[in-house]
Chains A and B, each alone.
Chain A
Amino acid sequence: MTTEVARLTRDSTAHDTVNLRTVEIYFHKSPGWPDGDQRGIEGLEYQVLSEGSVIQSGRTGNDGKIEVSIRGNESTLQLMFNGASVAEYRFTIRDEDWEASTTVIGIQRRLRALGYHLGHSGEGADGIDGDLGEKTDKAILDFQLDYELTADGKVGDRTRSSLNSVVGGTAGRT
């Protein structure tokens, strides 16, 4: 989601506008969107930094949700404990559409959006590398078991359709 926000800077005489985008981040104890039970991680203290300053802070509710604001093209989310940052996540904005779900990389992107673990290989260090290796194999099988599909590890029409449907609620893309 993108919102235009009025901005008055120190040396200007009038407001200008900046694009402020928000993405919904959910911290979960397990991947996917199980019916009626999102397994959110409750009570995470956080702050969001962008362009060098803190632009958000708060604590997660029982859905584990944080609406992270992204100024420019990047924001950093810090999980806090006793006033100190204990874990950091960098979010960058992607302008291109996702790859088709007939490709390995397209499947990986969808599984990753649902929180399935793919490791940290690849250009973005997010496991999306186009390689159908052990971690992607496990993620596909886990997804099939979680959504009560034929758990054969193959991404046929039903698995693809189900994956698109589940992710569709999060990304609207097939």
Chain B
Amino acid sequence: MITFNVKDNKQIIVPIRFARATVGFSTRDDPDLDDRGFDRGKAVYGLSTTDVRGPLVGLMVNHTVNLRVVREDIDDTAPLYITCTEPSVIEILEPAGGGPLPNTGIFRIKGTTSRGSAGKVQVRLGSTSGPVLGELEPHVFSRYTLPITPHRVRIDTATATGTRPDVPIERILRRVRAIWWPCGIDIRFDPATRPIVDDNIRLSTVDTVRDPDEDNWAEVKRVLGLQRQRLGLAAGTNDQSINWYIIHRFSDANTVGLGIRRQLADTLNCDPGIFTTANGVNNDREIERVARTVAHEIGHFLTLEHVQNRHADNPVEDTYGRRQLMFPISWLPTSPTPRTLTTTPRVDNVGYGQEVRGCLLTLKNHLKHETDKETTLARTAVRRGQWF
């Protein structure tokens, strides 16, 4: 039984909400939801809209995902059912017949058609024709495939030989693929067609690339050119792949990744690509951390900006900013700060484990949040060929 202590006030009761089906590491079957606020935000070009005041979720066409209903203000025993308004687009796979929902609240759906309007997923009381308690807005995306080519870069000097970074590339890239999957973007690593490349280069410091600020991008640009040189391609052409350069470190230890999109590469007169620093990565937590950095740099590669860029508010310090993949990790505090009503919230655990940023790529487009609608922006960059 739910209790309310009321005075002469009106009381609003919202029985349920939706949530990610699991917590912890990213998986393709358990997408994050854009549940920032109940307002849908401004219309986003390319996304159909409904009148849902609830979360939005992205689905890769023909892929089954788990989602969860949380009973916030309704008894655990109340029989809940799942329906959708566009059964030709969204298939309810579990619970069979739409319900009743199991105690876990988890249900499975599949987007069967990438269509502009996927309608609403609804939670109903009592039966599949009962009153609608809450709604979710799914978007089913067609698949865009982006090949990725990993490079383990050994950095030598005139007098010393470097070492090649030791990184479990396939495991990291499985996580990267999971993070981008709900956007309908398939970051594909295929060792048969694009095997891992072992590069060697001679720079000024062993195992180190100078930070762009220190040498006006000179060493970064040299590394970015390795793939084109290896393939013997002319300047200005490329292999239509995301070239991911794994190095031990930058000269500024605070730099853990770089994403150079086509537009920036043209400005710098170099090749596009991404960097991450990593070595000796051998446990799940580290793999996830590197995977999120790779996924974050792919975000830059696909034209996305940090959450605070061109932003009227201050998301770099708030919890929702921290839930996003495009949160700049250098701002991440190593421990939560005591919270008061007038100080910045920093919930330590944003759903993927403590002391990490989240994996959310936004679908909503909130007022003032000029870097929102990330899924649409990234897909537009792919469609327009802005990524290579």
Contacts and interface: CB of A to CB of B under 8 A. Distances in A.
B221 interface: no
6 contacts: A34-B39, A79-B78, A82-B126, A141-B345, A154-B341, A155-B341
A123 B14 CA distance: 21
Contacts of B367: 148
A92 B132 contact: no
Interface string B196-227: 00000000000000000000000000000000
B23 to A, nearest CB: 12
Interface residues of A, number: 75
A41 B341 contact: no
A151 B320 contact: yes
Given A141-B37, A154-B344, A23 B131 contact: no
A150 interface: yes
Given A44-B131, A145-B37, A132 B54 contact: no
Interface string A101-143: 0101001000001111101100011101000111001101110
Interface in A50-88: 60, 76, 79, 81-82, 86-88
Interface stretch (B160-168, B247-255, B270-278, B309-317): B309-317
A153 B38 contact: no
Contacts of B320: 141, 151, 153
A23 B13 contact: no
B78 A142 contact: no
A3 interface: no
Contact of A132 (B5, B312, B340, B369): B340
Interface string B125-145: 111001111110000000000
Nearest to B129: A43
Nearest to B320: A141
Contacts of A126: 2-5
Given A86-B79, A145-B37, A153-B319, A24 B11 contact: yes
Which has the most chain B C-beta neighbours within 10 Å: A27, A37, A144? Answer: A27
Contact of B4 (A42, A90, A142, A171): A90
